Structure 1
Amino acid sequence: MGFKEPTPIQEKIIPILLETDRDVTGLAQTGTGKTAAFGLPLVDLVDTSSRDIQAIVLCPTRELCLQSNREMENFARFDKDLKLVPVYGGKDMGSQIRSLKMKPQILVATPGRLVDMIKRGLADISKLRYLVLDEADIMLNMGFRDELDYILSEAPDGRQTLLFSATMPPEVARIASKYMNNPIEVSVGKKNSGTDTIEHYYYLVQARDRYNALKRLVDFNPGIYGLVFCRTRADTQMIADKMIKDGYSADALHGDMSQQQREYVMKKFRDQSLQILVATDIAARGLDVNNLSHVIHYELPDDIESYNHRSGRTGRAGRRGTSCAIVNMREKYKIKRIENTLGRKILEAPVPLGEDICEQQLMHLIDRVQNVDVDEEQIAPYIGIIEDKLREVDRDSLLKQFISMEFNRFLTYYGQQQDLKPVKMDNSRDRDRGGRDSRDSRGGRDGGRDSRGGRDGGRDGGRDSNVRYVHMNLNLGHSDRISPQHIISLINRSTKGSKVPIGRIDIGPTKSSVQIDANYAEVVEQAVSKVPFGDKTIEVDVQKGPTSSFGGHSGSSGSGGSGGYRGGDRGGDRGGDRGGSRGGSRGGAPYNKGNAGKGHPRRKFQ
């Protein structure tokens, strides 16, 4: 089954279920292995000689119901006497009634359809021994309070109840208090907190620029494999349609689609035939994908729990992930509330510039060429023909023509587009909206015109052309799903606010090179060495000889030149196989709280 060692939630839950009959509340984020935590013991505990319904697993959505049923069937595939049946809405009830007549021991169900079956006398739960409420907070958010109350009150008193939830809002606490008997609380991480494997950023834009900001974020990350969350079904379809029209490998997932359509889209996304899935919160609940690189909040949700659930779709199974929120001025107050709940800072970042996006795409293209697998035997018959056709083309011309063929569309598009200007916040409005920290996001109390470089702050923003850099090599690369934001954040955290100027960041398959101000080289080396990153311990090698000046922002961690970015093999309509990429991140000053919103040094393409 692929299990090597239990996840923290499995390590804590499985012994309780196997050895006691105590009720349990399990607090854990999505992607932590909850299904196996309750599914493996249930498969072992039910009595296969009995044809009564002994265990019920309640799920909030059809997709999650089917997913959980598939996983548990996999756990039980060697036990021919164990029967599992999924019961959910949106499908003809007749086929599910026929399945119930097979006398399953375990039902995996959505609340509404299970209530229908119980009231019709089609599902007898009088012999129920185990009741699992999976994603209880989501079920309550979806309005299933009455259905849960009915099912819990109908279930026999002697049952063992297991409640799993990523958060513990008052309604979930009410369920636990009313229907559970002195439950054991098992928690993986803090209540309502996020996971440490996810980097959080927000991009402040005008409302009219939201879609353009989304396109720039996707274009800046050529290897992206991500979810874009919208608040309504109509917006989800509209954004997906626009992305498809603009040539992106994208599709929509929402409740107005038929079950067959939704399953088809989710299969394409799981198979990575799609690069971007635009979804509503509820529709994405049944999507089980562990290697997402990004979650993008096209709009912030109304409740903090939904932000946590969305972000938890990335950064799973020890991998790193990035959560990006596109925020307009009226929504900025929500960022502070989310930060207070998560107990961590969400860093403000600038929307990528067109020049930086083009550089990212170019480096991505070059990496694809470098890393392509060459089948000598397959191409051998064509080499002679190709050499004859290209005999009159010299090496430099061939290189330029090759790059132009793939790359011109980005140069043409972004050459005609104005960059999205940084949004300047109204301090009084922001304080009224729920925060006194708006000054901090532009450089503290002195974050006025001078701190942004006067009138020209948008172009030079404190640029110091006299910074001398050395190269710091790290044992992290594309294979570790590292990004410039991760490196910048790592240095920020490790040096505790030293504001280290950073120049170019280059990311290769297994290693990265970062330009560091020579004056800070020893500090950074000592701070970053031996820091854990995923399943690795970071190793640092600093080349002591300074490089030439590279125009970093003075006194700011993560500033200056263009850097690297990771990729991944992504299919899609926009350029075939999307391999690893490098180059192009414009340093990290935007990600340092004291320098958010400052300008970038710019370089012309040669």
Structure 2
Amino acid sequence: MKTFEELGVAPEIRRAIEEMGYENPMPVQEEVIPYLLDEIRDVIALAQTGTGKTAAFGLPVLQKINVKQNVPQALILAPTRELCLQIAGDLADYSKYIDNLRVLPVYGGSSIESQIKSLKRGVQIIVATPGRLIDLINRKVVDLEAVKHVVLDEADEMLNMGFTDSIDEILSKVPQNRSMLLFSATMPKEIAKITRKYMDSPKEITIGRKNEGSHNVKHVYYMVHAKDKYLALKRIADYYPNIYGIIFCRTRRETQEIADKLIQDGYNADSLHGDLSQAQRDYVMQKFRIRSLQLLVATDVAARGLDVDSLTHVINYGLPDDIESYTHRSGRTGRAGKTGTSIAIAHVKEKGKIREIEKIINKKFEQKAIPTGDSICEKQLFSLVDRIEKVKVNEEEIAELLPSIFRKLDWLEKEDIIKRVISLEFNRLIDYYRDAQEIESPSERYTRDDKGGRSSRRDGRDRSDRGDSSSRGGRAAEKGYSRLFINIGRTDNVNPATLMGLVNDYVPGKIRIGRIDLMQNFAFFDVPEGDASQVVKSLNGQEDKGRRISVEFAQAGGGSDRGGRSERRPRGNGGESRRKDSFRGERSHSDSGKKEHRKGQRKPKYS
């Protein structure tokens, strides 16, 4: 392993990073730094988040700045405010002993006037989000004519966030003879287009395989019924007493609902999503960084660019639609040489997606059973014992109090005191799980029908799956439910999860979804009778991927509530399958939670 001195890093920079605890370069730094210092014009570096990328591009850029020229000489683009601030902070630390070098973070959600004043005073390095930088360019307060080095950090995430046009506009303002470094965790087609357009025979450096997951991350999945996802999440959180992680959800509404439920159940949790103001986001992130929060519930977009060290876990509350999103999620843990765990709470229909992810990240998932109440209590108790062993005792502060305490407890034996300490801390937890019903894992060979019996087919479908016309949407809704027709189906890439997501996004309140029957061009689903009109009203006229949604009441036996018109069916509908397993309870966490909660009891809070 080489040293920073052998890589050619200047003494004043080495002095600063050695004070920060840098001893030897990480693999990405060892690969990238020599090329950037050796006048290689363009470099593409593929590496996961948390591998030391900031120092890899930051140290050479700092070393090449001419502090006598008080104009922007380096431009670093980042996808989010959080990452922008983190990069600028790191560069300021690295350049501690370089006199007259100024780094300015430029981002939205902060005073543009103060940023303009700083630019007028002069800076050599600008770290910016694309939107705010374009605003400053249009105001003619940023001049990029002297820029010699351009860095695109987390370029794939910038493109995923829709910054393609902004990047094009910004790069058109910098000189053509500048050097360019592109950092990305994955290599999608859009990145390849940028490299062809703006880079000249770039040197490609890959740390690990392209799109490969971090070697420090363990991948685990729990298979559950959709209605039990929240209960499974709570058990997973309880099983890891010292968990410090991010829970990823698909939609803003689901993110807020899960965060609210966790808070109500006594967990140190909060939400991060696009409906929050910048001030609210900053407040939540500050609490998370100082570990006042153990669990951050977030959408993919809100969590992009977050730089938080030492995450123990990433929990996927359902797998994302694209594998690259999973790579980004899992890359939030296992950073800087530390280990981490990426957990997926999945249902049977997502088993194929897990296999696809395994092929891309070149790592195997480990399937685990949902922790039992006994195992959770044991894990929590031993965590308490460990904390008692390691607690720092301030002898001087408690010396005056100890004699009185010893007299008070003198009649108790050591074993009695230990029992009472444990009972004081865990009576509620033990009572909670003593009466809690265990979560049933769905069998991959069979699924239960609505009456609790087992179906006869190996793939979990009963005889009605053969496609006879009497089974395709013509059945009656269950008692207390209304059956609805929706004009999207499998050809629109709709599955039960996406259908529930639409209801989740557009219908206010908590709606329980019962049976779902997916057809090729349309679908049927059951909702409680009292909510049916609201679902129809809220969903009608919405758009999904450019297609206008139509929802109406359906009747068993082929009729509808609208003039007795028969239910629509696609041409050539033989072979349509009917979904047999129930999705009721996916959104009604409070109802499903009755299986786990004893009346009048509150889940204890852990810190």
Cα distance in 2 between the residues matched to 1:127 and 1:255: 36
- How far the C-alpha of 1:86 sits from its partner, in A, is 1.3
Cα distance in 2 between the residues matched to 1:114 and 1:59: 11
Secondary structure of 2:121 counterpart: coil
- How far the C-alpha of 1:51 sits from its partner, in A, is 2.3
Amino acid at match of 1:232: T
- 2:206 corresponds to 1:175: no
Q: Name which of 330, 333, 341 aligns with 2:360.
A: 341
User: What residue number does 1:138 align with?
Assistant: 157
Q: Name which of 324, 344, 349 aligns with 1:305.
A: 324
Cα distance in 1 between the residues matched to 2:435 and 2:119: 62
Amino acid at match of 1:360: K
Q: Name which of 331, 336, 341 aligns with 1:317.
A: 336
- How far the C-alpha of 1:92 sits from its partner, in A, is 3.0
Secondary structure of 1:282 counterpart: helix
Cα distance in 2 between the residues matched to 1:377 and 1:116: 59
Larger radius of gyration: 2
Secondary structure of 2:401 counterpart: helix
Q: Is 12-21 or 264-273 further displaced after alignment?
A: 264-273
Unaligned runs of 5+ residues in structure 1 are: 429-438, 441-572, 577-606
Cα distance in 2 between the residues matched to 1:275 and 1:325: 18
- 2:217 corresponds to 1:198: yes
Secondary structure of 1:78 counterpart: coil
Amino acid at match of 2:60: P
Answer yes or no: is the 8 Å Cα contact 2:271–2:297 preserved in 1: yes
Q: Name which of 74, 79, 102 aligns with 1:55.
A: 74
Cα distance in 2 between the residues matched to 1:426 and 1:253: 38
Amino acid at match of 1:114: L
User: What residue number does 2:453 align with?
Assistant: none
Cα distance in 2 between the residues matched to 1:364 and 1:13: 42
Q: What does 1:111-510 align with in structure 2 at a 5 Å threshold?
A: 111-425=130-444
Secondary structure of 2:220 counterpart: strand
Amino acid at match of 1:117: L
Per-residue CA deviations over 1:65-95 (Å, capped at 9, x if unaligned) read 1111111111222233222211112223222
Cα distance in 1 between the residues matched to 2:133 and 2:44: 22
Cα distance in 2 between the residues matched to 1:366 and 1:25: 49
- How far the C-alpha of 1:306 sits from its partner, in A, is 1.3
Per-residue CA deviations over 1:573-601 (Å, capped at 9, x if unaligned) read 8345xxxxxxxxxxxxxxxxxxxxxxxxx
Cα distance in 1 between the residues matched to 2:270 and 2:84: 22
User: What residue number does 1:79 align with?
Assistant: 98
Per-residue CA deviations over 1:343-399 (Å, capped at 9, x if unaligned) read 221111111111111111122222222222333333222222112222333444333
Secondary structure of 1:341 counterpart: helix
Cα distance in 2 between the residues matched to 1:348 and 1:244: 28
Answer yes or no: is the 8 Å Cα contact 1:9–1:188 preserved in 2: yes
Cα distance in 2 between the residues matched to 1:390 and 1:128: 72
Cα distance in 2 between the residues matched to 1:259 and 1:68: 19
Cα distance in 2 between the residues matched to 1:396 and 1:9: 54
- How far the C-alpha of 1:261 sits from its partner, in A, is 2.6
User: What residue number does 2:605 align with?
Assistant: 574
Secondary structure of 1:358 counterpart: helix
Q: Name which of 69, 82, 102 aligns with 2:88.
A: 69
Answer yes or no: is the 8 Å Cα contact 1:167–1:305 preserved in 2: yes
Q: What does 1:476-555 align with in structure 2 at a 5 Å threshold?
A: none
TM-score by length of 1: 0.69
- How far the C-alpha of 1:427 sits from its partner, in A, is 7.9
Amino acid at match of 1:275: Q
- 2:10 corresponds to 1:10: no
Answer yes or no: is the 8 Å Cα contact 1:218–1:224 preserved in 2: yes
Secondary structure of 1:39 counterpart: helix
- How far the C-alpha of 1:209 sits from its partner, in A, is 1.0
Answer yes or no: is the 8 Å Cα contact 1:67–1:286 preserved in 2: no
Q: Is 390-399 or 150-159 further displaced after alignment?
A: 390-399
Unaligned runs of 5+ residues in structure 2 are: 1-19, 448-457, 460-603
Per-residue CA deviations over 1:33-79 (Å, capped at 9, x if unaligned) read 11111111111112222222211100001111111111111122223
Amino acid at match of 1:314: T
User: What residue number does 1:33 align with?
Assistant: 52
TM-score by length of 2: 0.69
Per-residue CA deviations over 1:427-467 (Å, capped at 9, x if unaligned) read 89xxxxxxxxxx99xxxxxxxxxxxxxxxxxxxxxxxxxxx
Give the superposed CA RMSD: 2.1
Amino acid at match of 1:376: E
Q: How many residues are matched?
A: 435
Secondary structure of 1:101 counterpart: helix
Cα distance in 2 between the residues matched to 1:75 and 1:370: 39
Cα distance in 2 between the residues matched to 1:290 and 1:88: 22
Cα distance in 1 between the residues matched to 2:72 and 2:386: 56
Cα distance in 2 between the residues matched to 1:105 and 1:205: 54
Cα distance in 2 between the residues matched to 1:373 and 1:329: 47
Amino acid at match of 1:164: F
Cα distance in 2 between the residues matched to 1:126 and 1:374: 61
Cα distance in 2 between the residues matched to 1:371 and 1:12: 41
Cα distance in 2 between the residues matched to 1:374 and 1:315: 32
